[in-house]
Chains A and B, each alone.
Chain A
Amino acid sequence: GDSVTQMEGPVTLSEEAFLTINCTYTATGYPSLFWYVQYPGEGLQLLLKATKADDKGSNKGFEATYRKETTSFHLEKGSVQVSDSAVYFCALGTSGGSYIPTFGRGTSLIVHP
């Protein structure tokens, strides 16, 4: 079945540091890939997505590139802020038949001033 593996957290960084959160997946067919973010006390919200190989999703300074050859969708940001402290979830979804998206376990990011 489909699965998503994320690096375990927490990831602790100083403000303005470079961020990478690794995400790899296994899937049948050709999935769409997503990063969701959950700020403290809130539900999840979509951060970015990519629907086919080599697509790059970007939003709020975050980027992720759909790498079919390495089955990866790593999240990156060049300079994190304290306000980026949150839990980040990698997810995938496939078309046809299944209504259920597959989520990773989430990676907590803590950014210190």
Chain B
Amino acid sequence: DVKVTQSSRYLVKRTGEKVFLECVQDMDHENMFWYRQDPGLGLRLIYFSYDVKMKEKGDIPEGYSVSREKKERFSLILESASTNQTSMYLCASSTGQGFTGELFFGEGSRLTVL
């Protein structure tokens, strides 16, 4: 069964802390994505990557960075967490160039910043 695994389902952090959210996929997919989901705003793309060591900014990259050192792993980093980054974070992957196929999502990581 194909799988996208996010390292933590629930995290509570303090303002100013550095936060790592990790995502691993076992489908040998080229493309990986990080979204945040907030009520009334739907899914907003933070960053995506279409190859190892490649990254592209999405719609809301400010305050975030990413790392993709291996094909199967895509990490989202909050250098200095702030309360407005309290949200649900979703990782996804897909295969192929362009996007005509399915996105596979992890179960999400709910981050609370106090």
Contact with B along A65-93 (1 / 0, CB 8 A): 00000000000000000000000010101
Interchain pairs with CB closer than 8 A, number: 70
Query: Which of B12-20, B60-68, B102-110 is the contact stretch?
Result: B102-110
Q: Give the contact stretch, choosing among B69-77, B78-86, B92-100.
A: B92-100
Determine if B105 and A99 form an interchain contact, defined as CB atoms under 8 angstroms apart.
no
Count of chain A residues with a beta carbon within 8 Å of a chain B beta carbon: 26
| Contact B101–A93 (Cβ < 8 Å) | yes
- In the bound complex, do residue B90 and residue A44 qualify as a contact, i.e. CB atoms below 8 Å apart? yes
The answer to whether A98 touches B42 (Cβ under 8 A) is no
Say yes or no for B25: interface residue by CB 8 A criterion: no
From 21 to 73 in chain A, residues with beta carbon under 8 angstroms from any chain B beta carbon are 32, 34, 36, 41-46, 49, 51
Q: Are A98 and B99 in contact (CB under 8 A)?
A: yes
> Does B34 touch A at the CB level, under 8 Å?
no
Evaluate whether A100 and B100 lie within 8 angstroms (CB atoms) in the complex, with A42-B108, A43-B90 already known. Answer: no
Q: Would you call the interface of chain A mostly helix, strand, loop, or mixed?
A: loop
Residue of A nearest to B44 (CB): A103
The reply to whether B99 and A43 form a contact with Cβ atoms under 8 Å apart is no
Task: Report the separation of the CA atoms of residues A36 and B103 in the bound assembly, to the nearest whole angstrom.
Answer: 9
B107 touches which one: A43, A89, A98, A100 (CB < 8 A)? Answer: A43
Chain B positions near chain A (C-beta within 8 angstroms): 4, 31, 33, 40-43, 45, 48, 50, 56, 58, 90, 92, 94, 97-103, 105-108
Which residues of A are at the interface with B, using a C-beta cutoff of 8 A? 32, 34, 36, 41-46, 49, 51, 89, 91, 93-101, 103-106
Enumerate 12 A-B pairs (CB-CB under 8 Å) in ascending A order.
Answer: A44-B43, A89-B42, A93-B98, A95-B99, A97-B97, A99-B31, A99-B50, A100-B33, A101-B103, A104-B42, A105-B42, A106-B42
14 additional contacts (CB under 8 A) given A43-B4, A43-B90:
A32-B100, A42-B108, A43-B107, A45-B105, A49-B102, A51-B100, A89-B43, A93-B99, A97-B98, A99-B48, A99-B56, A100-B58, A103-B42, A105-B40
